[in-house]
Structure 1
């Protein structure tokens, strides 16, 4: 069974998957790597994963490469922990799990826009339309009532 390893302390500068693959290919050609990047900027988020075929090789890689200097950064390598269901930040920590069960991109979080706040009991307008809504309310209140 394959084992997933967390690789932390990657430099924030551009890190190519192939560069990281080359570091670990020295231990075994059967490893695969993944660099986690920011969706907006495309820059490395400072960590990635290495998947190895078995526990024995995983232990060897941890022992050999934990503290290994890669682009002036000492790598931190450990076995990845499975994702917990209560986590809000999907990829900000060691993780070995697949996706959630929501099937939605973004972790299944629902938008809180236009929902009543617990203390006010009223719906707050979308700030993008607040000025237009205020003008509309003024026009409606200025009209004579047709009842």
Structure 2
């Protein structure tokens, strides 16, 4: 498990990476803030990941910020789990090289 990365959930869609960095830097040296954005809408998905330089800073931030009110919402903060599953995408769309979703041409006889 990656002990220096935390998950931050229940964010307002208006929350910015800078606001998160300002909040979490109060509890240690922040290495990275990654606000997750919906590709199709360009809007926040309402969660982020914050990485710290040390696991001690990370644990301190989880303890202090979980339940904190930000943007009118109560934040859900916990240690991020390492998830080795492949990312899931949207619906699979056939392309010119993949006709498996089409009927066999022999089925088109009149």
Q: Tell me the TM-score normalized by structure 2.
A: 0.75
Find out whether 1:21 has 2:6 as its counterpart: no
List alignment gaps of at least 5 residues for structure 2: none
Q: How many residues align?
A: 102
Kindly indicate whether the alpha-carbon contact (under 8 Å) linking 1:10 and 1:73 is maintained by their aligned counterparts in 2: yes
Distance of 2:62 and 2:17 partners within structure 1: 19
| 1:54 paired to 2:54 | yes
Q: Give every structure 1 segment of 4 or more consecutive aligned residues whose post-TM-superposition deviation is greater than 3 Å.
A: 109-113
Structure 2 contact 3–58 (Cα < 8 Å) conserved: no
Do the aligned partners of 2:38 and 2:45 also contact (CA within 8 Å) in 1?
Answer: yes
Taking the aligned partners of 2:8 and 2:101, their CA distance within structure 1 comes to 42
Distance of 1:123 and 1:75 partners within structure 2: 52
Contact 2:3 2:79 in 1 (8 A): no
Partner deviation per Cα, 1:89-139 (whole Å, 9 max, x = no partner): 3xxxxxxxxxxxxxxxx69x964452147xxxx348xxxxxxxxxxxxxxx
Please name the residue that 1:42 is paired with: 42
Give the C-alpha shift of residue 2 in structure 1: 6.8
Change (3 A) 1:88 1:53: closer
Distance 1:116 1:110, change over 3 A: closer
Cα root mean square deviation, aligned: 3.0
Distance 1:123 1:68, change over 3 A: farther
Higher Cα Rg: structure 1 or 2? 1
